[in-house]
Amino acid sequence: MTRAPSTDQPALLRSVVIRKATAEDAGAILTCLAAAFEPYRQQYTPAAFADTVLTRESVRQRLSTMCLFVAVAAGHVVGTVGCQALGHGEGHLRGMAVLPEWQAKGVALRLLQAAETELRHNQCQRVTLDTTEPLQRAVRFYTRHGFSPSGRVSDFFGMPLYEYAKLL
């Protein structure tokens, strides 16, 4: 018999550990990104989707140039986010993803908090992120947590990419 997941979210969230990712997490990060973004595949251009879900090589590159965090529950990666200090007090978030069955349980907030703490540690006073039109749930999440549109829009492999910013 399969047991339903616990509905005690605080206890469930306490079982999640946020830590910096290592090279050994690359496969799990790829799995997490693919699962989180699969529902949006048809709303992305093929190149934009491929850039979002990464490849083994691109995740290795991110691990070498950014600080990646993973959320781990029962030994499995259930979420990820990357952050990078860009200089001049500016930081950037990239690749926030939480497995569908772990969404709306507080994992994304814990990942966001870890990334913001890392950026503050690196003397960042402002953080940006980019998102796409299909990700309205993510936009609502970021807005609830202090981000607002910067007005900057760029091309992301044939689709608009909207920048959001927040003072840390």
Residue-by-residue DSSP string for 120-163: HHTT-SEEEEEE-TT-HHHHHHHHHTT-EEEEEEEEETTEEEEE
Residue-wise pLDDT for 5-41, tens only, equals 445 556 566 789 999 999 999 999 999 999 999 999 9
The pTM assigned to this predicted structure is 0.91
**118-130 average pLDDT score:** 98
Tell me whether residue 1 is exposed, middle or buried, using C-beta atoms within 10 angstroms of its C-beta: 0 to 12, 13 to 18, 19 or more.
exposed
pLDDT of residue 10: 62
pLDDT of residue 1: 38
pLDDT of residue 55: 96
What is the Cα–Cα distance from 99 to 164, expressed in whole angstroms? Answer: 23
C-alpha of 168 from chain center: 17
**50-65 average pLDDT score:** 96
5 three-state secondary structure: coil
Domains of the chain (ranges, CATH numbers): 15-167 (3.40.630.30)
Residue-wise pLDDT for 64-116, tens only, equals 999 999 999 999 999 999 999 999 999 999 999 999 999 999 999 999 999 99
What is the Cα–Cα distance from 29 to 77, expressed in whole angstroms? Answer: 7
What is the Cα–Cα distance from 127 to 149, expressed in whole angstroms? Answer: 12
pLDDT of residue 13: 67
What is the strand order of the sheet 126-131 is part of?
A: 16-20, 67-73, 76-87, 90-98, 126-131, 159-167, 148-156
pLDDT of residue 3: 39
Tell me whether residue 80 is exposed, middle or buried, using C-beta atoms within 10 angstroms of its C-beta: 0 to 12, 13 to 18, 19 or more.
buried
pLDDT of residue 7: 54
Neighbours of 23 (CB within 10 A): 10
Q: Token pair 């772990």 is at which residue?
A: 102
| Length of the chain counted residue by residue | 168
